[in-house]
Amino acid sequence: MQPSIASRDYAPQTADVPVLALSGITKSFPGVKALDGVSLELFPGQVTALIGENGAGKSTIVKTLTGIYQPDAGEIRVAGKPVRFASAQDAARAGITAIHQETVLFDELTVAENIFIGHAPRGRFGMIDWAEMRRRARDILARIDAELDPDTPLRDLGIASKHLVAIARALSVDARVVVMDEPTAALSHKEIEELYELVDRLKSEGRAILFISHKFDEIFRIADRYTVFRDGAHVGSGLMADVDEADLVRMMVGRDVDQIFPDRVKSPGEEVLKVVGYAHPTEFDDIGFSLRRGEILGVYGLVGAGRSEVMQALFGITRPSKGAVKIDGAIKVIRSPADAVANGIVYVPEDRGKQGAVIGMPIFQNVTLPSLSQTSHRGFLRLAEEFALARRYTERLDLRAAALDQDVGNLSGGNQQKVVIAKWLATQPKVIILDEPTKGIDIGSKAAVHAFMAELAAEGLAVIMVSSEIPEVLGMSDRVIVMREGLIAAELEGDALTPETLVRHAAGIGEDRP
Amino acid sequence: MSDMTARHLPDRLQSPAARLLQSWELLLLGLAIAIFIANSLASPYFLNAWNLSDATFNFTEKAMIAFAMALLIIAGEIDLSVAAIIALVSTAMGAAAAAGAGTPLLVLIGLGTGLACGAFNGLLVTRLGLPSIVVTIGTMSLFRGVSFIILGDGAYRSYPPEFAYFGQGYVGWVISFEFVLFGLCALAYYVLLHRTNFGRSVFAIGNNATAAQFSGIRVGRVKFMLFLLTGLMSGVAAICLTSRLGSTRPSIASGWELEVVTMVVLGGVSILGGSGSIPGVVIAAFVMGLVTFGLGLLNVPGIVMSIFIGLMLISVIAVPRLWRMWRG
Amino acid sequence: MKRLLTSRETMLSGAILLLLALTASRFPGFIAPANLVAVFTDTSPLLILALGQTVVILTRCIDLSVAANLALSGMVCAMLNAAMPGIPVALILALAVLLGAVMGAINGALVWKLAIPPIVVTLGTMTIYRGIIFLISDGAWVNAHEMSAAFTGLPRARILGLPVLAWFGIASALLIWLMVTRTPLGRAFYAVGGNPHAAVYTGIDVGRTQFWAFTISGALAGLAGYLWVARYSVAYVDIAGGFELEVVAACVIGGISIAGGAGTILGTILGALFLGIIKNALPVVDVSPFWQMAISGAAIIIAVTLNTRSARAKGRIILRRAQAAQTEGAPA
Amino acid sequence: KGAEEAAAELGNVEVIYTGPTDTTAEGQIEVINSLIAQQVDAIAVSANDTDALVPALKKAMQRGITVISWDSGVATEGRELHLNPSSNPLIGNMIIKLAADELPEGGQVAVLSATTTSTNQNIWIEEMTKVLGDYNGIEVVGTVYGDDLADKSYREATGLMQTYPELDAIIAPTSVGIVAAARAVEDAGKVGQVNVTGLGLPSEMAGAIESGASKSFAIWNPIDLGYSAAYLAYQLATDAAEATPGAEIPMGRMGALTLDENTEGAMADPFVYDASNIDAFKDIF
Ligand SMILES: Nc1ncnc2c1ncn2[C@@H]1O[C@H](COP(=O)(O)OP(=O)(O)OP(=O)(O)O)[C@@H](O)[C@H]1O
Ligand SMILES: Nc1ncnc2c1ncn2[C@@H]1O[C@H](COP(=O)(O)OP(=O)(O)OP(=O)(O)O)[C@@H](O)[C@H]1O
Ligand SMILES: [Mg+2]
Ligand SMILES: [Mg+2]
Query: What are the pLDDT digits (tens) for A412-438?
Result: 777 888 888 889 988 889 999 999 888
**Distance (Å, rounded) from C-alpha C241 to C-alpha D111?**
23
Highest mean pLDDT: which range of A73-77, B2-6, C314-318, D241-245: A73-77
- pLDDT 10s digits, C32-46: 888 899 899 999 999
Q: Do chains D and A touch (3 or more CB pairs under 8 A)?
A: no
Mutate to test the interface with A, among B214, B221, B223, B272 (most CBs of A within 10 A): B214
Residue type, D216: S
Count chain C–chain D contacts defined by CB atoms under 8 A. Answer: 79
pLDDT at D112 over 50: yes
Closest CA–CA distance from residue B44 to any residue of chain D (Å): 8
**Subunits close to D (at least 3 CB pairs below 8 A):** B, C
Cα–Cα distances in angstroms (integers) from residue B285 to residues B36, B63, B253, B267, in the given order = 13, 6, 17, 8
CATH of the domain at A418: 3.40.50.300
pLDDT at A484 over 80: yes
**Distance (Å, rounded) from C-alpha C121 to C-alpha C63?**
8
pLDDT at A7 over 50: no
Contact present, C114 and B317 (Cβ < 8 Å): yes
Contact present, D217 and D273 (Cβ < 8 Å): yes
- Residue A138 belongs to what domain range? 106-173
pLDDT at C315 over 60: no
Cα–Cα distances in angstroms (integers) from residue A58 to residues A41, A242, B240, in the given order = 14, 22, 61
Q: B9-23, B185-199, B217-231, D154-168: which has the minimum mean pLDDT?
A: B9-23
Which helix (H) or strand (E) element contains residue C23? helix C8-26
- pLDDT 10s digits, A227-253: 999 888 898 899 988 888 888 888 877
CB atoms within 10 A of CB B228: 19
Q: Whose CA is nearest to atom 7 of ligand 1?
A: A29
Distance of CA C44 from the midpoint of ligand 4 (Å): 49
Distance of CA D65 from the midpoint of ligand 3 (Å): 74
* pLDDT band of A513, cuts 50, 70, 90: very low
Q: Are residues A216 and A165 part of one domain?
A: no
Distance of CA A52 from the midpoint of ligand 3 (Å): 9
Q: Are residues A82 and A217 part of one domain?
A: yes
- Residue C323 belongs to what domain range? 2-329
Nearest to B88 by CA among B134, B135, B156: B156
Between C111 and C236, the higher pLDDT residue: C111
| Ligand 2 atom with least separation from CA of A283 | 18
- pLDDT 10s digits, A26-68: 998 766 788 988 999 999 999 999 988 777 888 889 999 988 8
pLDDT at A4 over 50: no
* pLDDT band of A509, cuts 50, 70, 90: low
Are A88 and C203 an interchain contact pair (Cβ–Cβ within 8 Å)?
yes
Whether A54 lines ligand 1, by a CB cut-off of 6 Å, is yes
Domain count for chain C:
1
Cα–Cα distances in angstroms (integers) from residue B134 to residues B81, B201, C15, C48, in the given order = 10, 24, 19, 20
Distance of CA B45 from the midpoint of ligand 2 (Å): 68
Are D183 and C238 an interchain contact pair (Cβ–Cβ within 8 Å)?
no
Probe residue for ligand 1, chosen from A25, A29, A62, A216 as the CB with the greatest number of ligand atoms within 8 Å: A29
Between C283 and D31, the higher pLDDT residue: D31
Closest CA–CA distance from residue B99 to any residue of chain A (Å): 42
Which helix (H) or strand (E) element contains residue D170? strand D167-172
* pLDDT band of C332, cuts 50, 70, 90: very low
**Distance (Å, rounded) from C-alpha B318 to C-alpha B324?**
10
Q: Are residues A166 and A53 part of one domain?
A: no
With beta carbons under 8 A apart, name residues in chain C contacting D144.
283, 289
* pLDDT band of B3, cuts 50, 70, 90: very low
pLDDT for position C323: 59
Mutate to test the interface with B, among D14, D16, D34, D121 (most CBs of B within 10 A): D34
pLDDT for position B139: 94
Whether A414 lines ligand 1, by a CB cut-off of 6 Å, is no
Q: What is the mean pLDDT of chain B?
A: 89
Distance of CA A200 from the midpoint of ligand 1 (Å): 29
Are B216 and A338 an interchain contact pair (Cβ–Cβ within 8 Å)?
yes
CATH of the domain at C10: 1.10.3470
With beta carbons under 8 A apart, name residues in chain A contacting B213.
317, 336-337
Probe residue for ligand 1, chosen from A22, A25, A53, A59 as the CB with the greatest number of ligand atoms within 8 Å: A59
Are C238 and D149 an interchain contact pair (Cβ–Cβ within 8 Å)?
yes
Closest CA–CA distance from residue C34 to any residue of chain A (Å): 36
> B98 at the D interface (CB within 8 A)?
no
pLDDT for position A511: 53
pLDDT at D79 over 90: no
pLDDT for position A104: 79
Residue A260 falls inside a structural domain: no
With beta carbons under 8 A apart, name residues in chain D contacting C239.
149-151
Q: What is the mean pLDDT of chain D?
A: 83
Cα–Cα distances in angstroms (integers) from residue B17 to residues A401, B21, B24, B274, C308, in the given order = 22, 6, 13, 22, 47
Q: A300-304, B84-88, D177-181: which has the minimum mean pLDDT?
A: A300-304
pLDDT for position A50: 93
With beta carbons under 8 A apart, name residues in chain D contacting C284.
159, 162-163
pLDDT for position C295: 86
Listed in sequence order, the residues at least 6 apart from C124 whose beta carbon sits closer than 8 Å to its beta carbon are B310, B311, B313, B314
Distance of CA D42 from the midpoint of ligand 4 (Å): 75
Mean pLDDT of A304-308: 85
Torsion of CA B132, B138, B143, B149, to 10 degrees: -170
- pLDDT 10s digits, A80-93: 889 998 888 888 88
Mean pLDDT of D218-247: 81
Q: Is B286 helix (H, G, I), strand (E, B) or coil?
A: helix
- pLDDT 10s digits, C247-276: 999 998 888 988 888 889 999 999 999 999
Q: What is the DSSP string of A296-334?
A: EEEEEE-TTSSHHHHHHHHTTSSPPSEEEEEETTEEE--
Report the predicted TM-score, pTM, of the whole model to 2 decimal places: 0.88
Residue A512 falls inside a structural domain: no
pLDDT for position C3: 54
Nearest to D26 by CA among B149, B185, B167, B171: B167
Of B45, B246, B251, the CB nearest to D37: B45
Nearest to B87 by CA among B135, B130, B162, B139: B139
Residue type, A173: V
Residue A101 falls inside a structural domain: no
Contact present, A43 and A16 (Cβ < 8 Å): yes
Of C110, C291, C297, the CB nearest to B140: C297
**b/e per residue B241-250 (b: at least 16 CB within 10 A):** bbbbbbbbbb
pLDDT for position A376: 82
pLDDT for position B202: 96
Q: Are residues A297 and A387 part of one domain?
A: yes
- pLDDT 10s digits, D36-66: 888 888 888 887 777 888 888 888 888 888 8
Share of chain A above pLDDT 70, in %: 92
Domain count for chain A:
3
* pLDDT band of D1, cuts 50, 70, 90: low
pLDDT at D240 over 70: yes
B25-327 belongs to which CATH class? mainly alpha
Probe residue for ligand 2, chosen from A303, A314, A433, A469 as the CB with the greatest number of ligand atoms within 8 Å: A303
Per-residue H/E/C for A117-154:
CCCCCECHHHCECHHHHHHHHHHHHHHCCCCCCCCCEH
Q: Is B152 helix (H, G, I), strand (E, B) or coil?
A: coil
Q: A55-59, A262-266, C117-121: which has the minimum mean pLDDT?
A: A262-266
**Distance (Å, rounded) from C-alpha B95 to C-alpha B102?**
12
pLDDT at B79 over 80: yes
Q: What is the mean pLDDT of chain A?
A: 84
Closest CA–CA distance from residue D125 to any residue of chain C (Å): 17
Q: Are residues A333 and A210 part of one domain?
A: no
Q: Where are the domains of chain B?
A: 25-327
Q: Are residues A72 and A19 part of one domain?
A: yes
Mean pLDDT of D92-97: 87
Between B197 and A56, the higher pLDDT residue: B197
Length of chain D counted residue by residue: 285
pLDDT for position D190: 87
Probe residue for ligand 1, chosen from A60, A102, A410 as the CB with the greatest number of ligand atoms within 8 Å: A60
- pLDDT 10s digits, C160-183: 888 999 999 999 999 999 999 999
| Ligand 2 atom with least separation from CA of C318 | 18
Nearest to C52 by CA among C220, C207, C248: C220
pLDDT for position C331: 38
Direct distance between the N- and C-terminal alpha carbons of chain C, in angstroms, rounded to an integer: 7
pLDDT for position C27: 84
**Distance (Å, rounded) from C-alpha A34 to C-alpha C209?**
29
pLDDT at B235 over 90: yes
Whether A412 lines ligand 1, by a CB cut-off of 6 Å, is yes
> B170 at the D interface (CB within 8 A)?
no
Between A409 and B60, the higher pLDDT residue: B60
Listed in sequence order, the residues at least 6 apart from B137 whose beta carbon sits closer than 8 Å to its beta carbon are B80, B81, C245, C248, C249, C252, C300
pLDDT for position B5: 41
**Subunits close to B (at least 3 CB pairs below 8 A):** A, C, D
Residue A138 falls inside a structural domain: yes
Mean pLDDT of B220-238: 96
Closest CA–CA distance from residue A312 to any residue of chain B (Å): 9
pLDDT at B186 over 90: yes
pLDDT for position A2: 37
Between C315 and C147, the higher pLDDT residue: C147
pLDDT for position A303: 72
Are C42 and D158 an interchain contact pair (Cβ–Cβ within 8 Å)?
yes
Mean pLDDT of A339-355: 87
Q: What is the DSSP string of A404-433?
A: TTSBGGGS-HHHHHHHHHHHHHTT--SEEE
Backbone φ and ψ of A150, nearest 5°: -60, -20
ipTM for the predicted complex: 0.85
Distance of CA C197 from the midpoint of ligand 2 (Å): 20
pLDDT at A467 over 50: yes
Q: Are residues A181 and A77 part of one domain?
A: yes
